[in-house]
Amino acid sequence: MTEDERRVTDEGNPAKPTGHYGARMLRRMNESHADVTDWALDYLDFDSSDNVLDVGCGGGATLRRISCRMGEGCGRVTGVDYSEVSCEESRLYNAPEIESGRIRVVQASVESLPFDDATFDLVTTVESFYFWPNPRENLAEVRRVLKRGGRFLLVADVYGRPGLSEEVLANVEKYHLNVPTLDEFRELFSAAGFSECDVHTKEGTDWVCVEGVA
């Protein structure tokens, strides 16, 4: 990272983006997270009638990707984020789809999602699990809003394993990131009430994609 990129990240606050630097960081993340997001979304089958939730929607790029994959139909994509700046950026990024009613953005925390039980067919989260305050309880909250048989997809570009670079380890410590091992992911999903859990990694990367079935 350049000195300017470091400043944007540090002052923007990855855990809860704020201010001018937070907005810049989110726009950068819309681009830098593209490859890992597309790789992971390939594990899901989208239907044009699906009701989908993206937790920690950040700069809004994942919302648009999901909407495009759903195609034309009566489905809807909802983004939630507890950062006001993230919600603003997501709304700007998806303005036409929001105007049409295809996408909506709600400011809320994964600790208490403002939706009824069994609301969504699919739930995703991309690069946000690192910052969830109580992973097991928060995963159970995600499970609550999923319909029976619905799927949850957790996407991250680093997980706990031997051989992580010094730079990655430094960032994990600096930003207090949750980076479970693959076995720990399976244990967390089971404890949160998911009936199935499949874990995928991509050779040559630190990427992980965890699928849970409600």
Q: Beta strands of the chain (E only): which ranges?
A: 51-55, 76-81, 103-107, 120-126, 146-156, 196-201, 208-213
| CA 1 and chain centroid, separation | 23
Residue 157 included in any domain: yes
| Structure confidence at residue 59 as a pLDDT band (50, 70, 90) | very high
Average pLDDT, the chain: 96
Whether the per-residue pLDDT at 5 is higher than 90: the answer is: no
Residue 190 included in any domain: yes
Residue 18 included in any domain: no
Residue 21 included in any domain: no
- Tell how strand 146-156 and strand 208-213 pair up: antiparallel
Q: The domain containing residue 187 runs over which residues?
A: 33-213
Q: What is the pLDDT of residue 178?
A: 96
Q: What is the pLDDT of residue 190?
A: 98
| Structure confidence at residue 1 as a pLDDT band (50, 70, 90) | low
Contact 36, 155 (CB under 8 A): yes
CATH number of the domain residue 160 falls in: 3.40.50.150
The 3 state secondary structure assigned to 146-170 is: EEEEEEEEEEECCCCCCCCCHHHHH
Residue 117 included in any domain: yes
Tokens 């997501």 belong to which residue? 90
Residue 112 included in any domain: yes
pLDDT digits (tens, 9 = 90+) for 74-86: 899 999 999 999 9
Q: What is the mean pLDDT of residues 32-61?
A: 97
Residue 2 included in any domain: no
Question: What is the spatial distance between Cα 86 and Cα 61, in angstroms, rounded to a whole number?
Answer: 11
Q: What is the pLDDT of residue 194?
A: 98
pLDDT digits (tens, 9 = 90+) for 20-42: 999 999 999 999 999 999 999 99
How many domains does the chain contain in total? 1
| CA 100 and chain centroid, separation | 23
